[in-house]
Amino acid sequence: TRSTRPQRLLKVVQKRATRGDPQSVISAVDHFCRHSEWAMNVGDEKGSILDSVVSELSPEKVLELGTYCGYSTVRIARLLPPGARLITLEFNADYAAIARQVIAWAGLEDKVQLVEGASEDWIPRMKEHYGIETFDFVFLDHWKDRYLPDTKLMEDCGLLRKGTVLLADNVICPGFPDYLEYVRNSLSYKSCYFKSHLKYTKAEDGLEKSVFLG
């Protein structure tokens, strides 16, 4: 049977990228998406905004919601300080299998824990299963109607602390109006919008950065 798009993306990474070199993995995926096939990863333009937020924060404990093929996982993990950990949740087994191999090719498997399952099942288990008290940084990039319920769940589970940064992809396209209204109007968040473009297109898109105030 015909291969899937994630399988083709992995082949390009294994063909063009150097093992253990995260930047070459990022470039290989960008090349694949720009020249071969569109895939729903954050892309290079928004990716560099993600890089600057992570570099500035230097977080120890990171949560990513929606791994897909692991592109943003690699972007984040390559910037983390020694000893820092990134937990990424992905409930599609096929995507998770591809992402594991992309993360391993980048040589970042020691920093990344890919958990296969639904966010609502695993957010409540972060303390007991992974010894996480609170997260320093959360990247939201899964189904857009899950951003708000999962953020409220993280609040209820006490996983956010004063200063925790939430960064959400796709403010405009596909968009998440309920989450945006919440973080922009809630007294518990200080929110700002990083305008960018939908990867490799002229269409506007952006990232919403929201700091939890406790």
Ligand X SMILES: CCc1ncnc2c1ncn2[C@@H]1O[C@H](/C=C/CNC(=O)c2cc(-c3ccc(F)cc3)cc(O)c2O)[C@@H](O)[C@H]1O
Stretch that binds ligand X, among 29-37, 141-149, 151-159, 179-187 (CB under 6 A): 141-149
**What phi and psi, each to the nearest 5 degrees, are found at residue 78?**
-70, -20
Q: Does 198 bind ligand X (CB under 6 A)?
A: yes
Q: Are 126 and 132 in contact (CB under 8 A)?
A: yes
Residues in region 154-173 near ligand X by CB under 6 A: 169-170, 173
Binding mask 29-68 for ligand X (x = CB under 6 A): -----------x-x-----------------------x-x
Q: Does 192 bind ligand X (CB under 6 A)?
A: no
Identify residue 123 by its one-letter amino acid code: I
Number of chain residues interacting with ligand X (CB under 6 A): 20
How long is the chain? 214
| Residue from 44, 64, 90, 208 binding ligand X (CB under 6 A) | 90
Distance, CA of 188 to CA of 113 (rounded, Å): 29
One-character DSSP codes across 190-202? EEEEEEEESTTSS
Q: Long-range contacts made by residues 147-153, C-beta under 8 angstroms, separation at least 24?
A: 147/65, 147/176, 147/178, 147/179, 148/176, 148/178, 148/179, 148/182, 149/120, 150/65, 150/119, 150/120, 150/123, 151/179, 151/182, 151/183, 153/119, 153/120, 153/123, 153/124
Selection from Mg ion, ligand X, none that 182 binds (CB < 5 to 8 A by kind) is none
Identify residue 151 by its one-letter amino acid code: T
Number of chain residues interacting with Mg ion (CB under 5 A): 3
Residues in region 63-82 near ligand X by CB under 6 A: 66, 68
Q: Does 143 bind ligand X (CB under 6 A)?
A: yes
Stretch that binds Mg ion, among 81-89, 126-134, 139-147, 192-200 (CB under 5 A): 139-147
Selection from Mg ion, ligand X, none that 27 binds (CB < 5 to 8 A by kind) is none
Q: Does 100 bind ligand X (CB under 6 A)?
A: no
User: Given the rule CB under 5 A, which residues bind Mg ion?
Assistant: 141, 169-170
